[in-house]
Structure formats: structure tokens, C-alpha cells
Chains A and B, each alone.
Chain A
């Protein structure tokens, strides 16, 4: 392989066996691939939620100031969350309704945490086209079933957040949450 003009063609061993050069090349190419991957990861990861966004991925809500019949709206991950303190009559109404009367049948017990029947926690986004329903404040219109009323297209929800009158196709969604104590929940 003394002739320089032949050198280009000769960078593979003529017999096809693995030479030291081939091995070195293999390591170099593999190393370059690993390097490229290592460079790509920080770039991709920088697009994931940053620490300040993650810090707000769960919120704690103190329930003490919410009196019976009242509701509050908090923001969780950019979405309105309805927290409502239901009266005994509202709870009874929500529990007694026949499931066959519902558009999306679901028992009230499946929508509250056991032992905390008076608290209903909902994602406040109408399942029709994403408006925020009214009814969280006592002064708001609450619709025929005493829950929430969507001003955009007239959908109505009962005190369990279940849709009772279209056009919304489904019940108000439930956020993931847990009771940290009797008067404190953690959403998210």
C-alpha cells in the first residue's frame, strides 16, 4: 500500500478480515454516535417542563374558609378546579338520582372521596367545547339541577358535576386529589 493514489481504495483490508484499523474505526464511529446522543439529550430535555412549572404541578387547598353551600375556584396546572362544599340536601339529591336518568351514568359515591361526601372537586371545564361553567358562587346561575350551568351552549350539571342536559356529552372530569387532613386537599 505504498502508492498514495491507491490509498483511498485501500482503506479496507483486501482480504476482508477485521484489521486493527477497522476495529479502531468501529470504536470511533460508535463513540461519535454515543456523543451525538449525549448532545441531543440536554437539548430535548430542555423542552420538558422546567422546575418552576413542575413546582406548580400540585397545589394544596385549605378548605376551612369554604362554608356550606359555597364553592371556590383554584387554578391547577393552568385549569380551573371547582371545590364545592355541598349542603346535606345537595348530597342527598346527588345520591338519590336514578342512574338510568343520567347521560353518563355514574354514582355520586364514585365521584367523591369516601367519608368526605360534602366535598366535590371537579375540573371546571365543560365537556362540550371547553368553556368554564357558572355556578361555583351562590350568586351564579346553577341550572335546573342546582350544580353548574355552562353559559356557552346551555349544558347543565348536577351537584355531583354530572351532565344532566346537553349538549355536553360527559360529566365534568375529576382531577387527581387526596385529603391530607379533613380540611386540606392536595390536587395533583
Chain B
């Protein structure tokens, strides 16, 4: 079924290539004229920011790998070599180290945006599921990357997290030995973590490609959560959203730079400046901030296996979120009760994060249990029931309708009858 593409580009070189391999036509279609809802707020920047962040991580990572030694005898010293002797090595390293934190900040906000505006609902379930896969891959990559400097927290973090798998009956200990490639976290572990830490970001690129491909099939959700009805509801992606994303990228880079240049170790742990010592555990083992909520869930349950299952469950539940939420209205703007409860869920996650940073004693145990309970309650009980009980506010007729109605940018309560979301 061969056939040359009929390219419409005037430039002869571009036309020649595009005729044979229509990548320019594709780019033009997907990122040039791509019809995008015109009512995005700045929360819609965060997908692009995550993409930029991944690029930053891959590029700095490749240059760091040129000087890093994945060997327990040499790893810590090679990081010091990078920090002290390699030209701009400190910059590459601090960007990569803080880039992990920035990546999670950006991704968590991106996820929150999806939850607040119901972006996971029909027909975007698969888009959402791919997003959850991305999150899990990211977490695995971040965890293995944290082991590489081979400081005390690297070593003990690796020991504790890999030991989680020992909770599973019968096969548990075998899995742990397999992960370690030995009988404790040691050189084989470090070697394979380096290998996988290098590989997974490229797997991420692949899944992100699918995530974006799925997005371009369904089209973007928007703050009103209603479907695009006419060309009047949309704008071409370029230049409108390329420029709007650029504003966000500049602000994001400024925050990133503030962290890298003025507080590069603020989010780190002093213990990781001590080389790994398998015979001495630090007084407090705390994961990086972005894992604290999961860590708190893990510790809130007195039973080891149940704790591990709850921790993994807190992620896995996201896969079925599109089916747990029974409401047919997407955006929280039109769901008066959900709009409150989603914030309560955010509070629960933050409480879990704070609990994760403290020793599990006294008030912190109780708090983490309450917050864990609410975390699951939100997904497993509140969302299914709320969808049936809640009376949504009336939805606007279309994205451009509020403007045509001459009353400014917000939704117009009472101007249109409540109407279930339509299928695309």
C-alpha cells in the first residue's frame, strides 16, 4: 500500500522529506493547528512542564553517567569527583538531584489537575491509566537513582524498600534475593540499579508517547469538563498554547534554578553525605519527600504484608479510578460536594506526608491511620456513592457559551439545565 504523501509545505527541502516521511505534516497537525479548548487555565501547563523535566533529567543523566562509577568501592567517590573536578559537574549533579523533586512536584500537580477536573473520565480512561503507569515507572526510576550515590540513605533506603517484597508469603524472600543478586544490597544490586536507572527513562519516553497519542485521539479535557462542540470552542495549539506553556516553563525553571543554585541540599538528607556503611543504620531512615505519603501508609498498618499491600494498593487504586467515580459530570466546578472532598483528600495526602517524616510514635500513628483510612475511603466509598447522591450544578451549553452570554469567563449557574456529559 505504498504511496507518497501529498505535502503542502512550500520549502522544497521540507517538502521533499515530508513527501517521503510526513513527519512535518504530523507535527503540524498534532502541535501546530491541533484544536485545543480555549479555556485552559495555568494548571494545564503541567503536562508540558513534566515533559521538559524528563528531557532535563535524561540529558543531565547522560552526562553524569560519563563520570559515574557503578561500583560500591567507587560510587561515592565518583560522585565527589563529579562535584569537585568535572567541569560544571556540580551543576549537572544538582540539577539532576533536584530535578527528581521538581519532576514529582510537577507530576503531582498534573495528577491533581486530572482529578479535580475529572480528566480520567470517559473517554479518557486509557489516557489516565497510561498516566498511572508513567507515575509508577517514575517512582521506580527515582528510587533506583537515589541508590546510586551510595550514601547511607541510598544504602538503607534500598535495603528497606527491597525488603518490602519479603512480605509476600513463600516467594517473598526469593524475590528479594533476586532483586539483590546476593544476600544483601551490594555491588550486584548497585550495578543492576544503574543499568535500570539508565533504561527506564527511555521506557518512560515510550509510554509518554502513548499517553500523548491517546490524548490527541480524545482531545484535551478543560476546566469546564464539557466536550468541545464547535470550532469556536478551540484554538490552534500553536501559537496560543506554545506561548502559554512557555510562560509556565520560564516560571518553573526559575523555581528550579532557585532550588539548584541557592538550596541544592534543602530537600536532601545529611546522612547521604556519609558513604554507605552496611554495619551501621542511621538513626532515622526517611525516604525522599515524594515517597513520604506512601511510607506513612506502609507504617500505619501493624501487619507487614497488609502494610505492603496497602502501600501498593494506594497506587493501584488509581488504575480503577475512572470506574470508581460514578458521577457523569467531570469538572469539580459543577460538583459542590466533590469540590470540597477532593481538598480533604489532598489534606489527607499532605498529613500522610508529614506523618511519613516522623517516627511512628504517639500522635503520628493515629494521624497516619486516620489519613490512610480517608485516602482509601475517598476512592472506594465516597466517589462511588457521591456520584449517585450529589446534585451537580447546571453545566454551561458550550465552552464559548459563557462568553456569548456576555457575562465573562466563569460558568453560569442556572443558565442551562443540568445535562449529563456527552460521549465524544
* B-binding residues in A (CB < 8 A): 4-5, 7-8, 11, 28, 32, 42-43, 45-48, 50-52
Contacts and interface: CB of A to CB of B under 8 A. Distances in A.
Given A11-B239, A43-B63, A46-B66, A4 B232 contact: yes
Given A51-B85, A52-B85, A46 B235 contact: no
Given A4-B232, A11-B239, A45 B85 contact: no
Interface stretch (B86-94, B188-196, B295-303): B86-94
A8 B236 contact: yes
Chain A residues touching B, majority SS: helix
Contacts of B240: 7-8
B66 A50 contact: no
Interface string B79-103: 0010011111101100000000000
Contacts of B232: 4-5
B38 interface: yes
Interface in B231-269: 231-232, 235-236, 239-240, 246
A70 B264 CA distance: 55
B260 to A, nearest CB: 12
19 contacts: A4-B235, A5-B232, A7-B235, A8-B236, A8-B239, A8-B240, A11-B239, A43-B88, A45-B87, A45-B88, A46-B63, A46-B66, A46-B86, A46-B87, A46-B88, A46-B89, A48-B87, A50-B67, A51-B85
Interface in B319-366: none
B254 to A, nearest CB: 12
A48 B85 CA distance: 11
- Interface residue tally of chain B, by bracket? 20 to 34
Chain B residues touching A, majority SS: helix
A46 B64 CA distance: 9
Given A28-B246, A42-B92, A47-B63, A8 B85 contact: no
Given A43-B59, A50-B67, 9 more contacts: A4-B235, A5-B232, A8-B240, A11-B239, A42-B87, A42-B88, A45-B87, A50-B85, A50-B87
B38 A4 contact: yes
A4 B233 CA distance: 9
A51 B33 CA distance: 49
B86 A42 contact: no
A52 B82 CA distance: 11
Interface string B41-84: 00000000000000000011001001100000000000001001
Contacts of B236: 8
Given A8-B235, A11-B239, A42-B92, A47 B66 contact: yes
A8 B231 CA distance: 12
Contact of B92 (A5, A7, A43): A43
A183 B84 CA distance: 34
A5 B87 contact: no
A32 B243 CA distance: 12
A32 B242 CA distance: 13
Contacts of A48: 87
Contacts of A8: 33, 235-236, 239-240
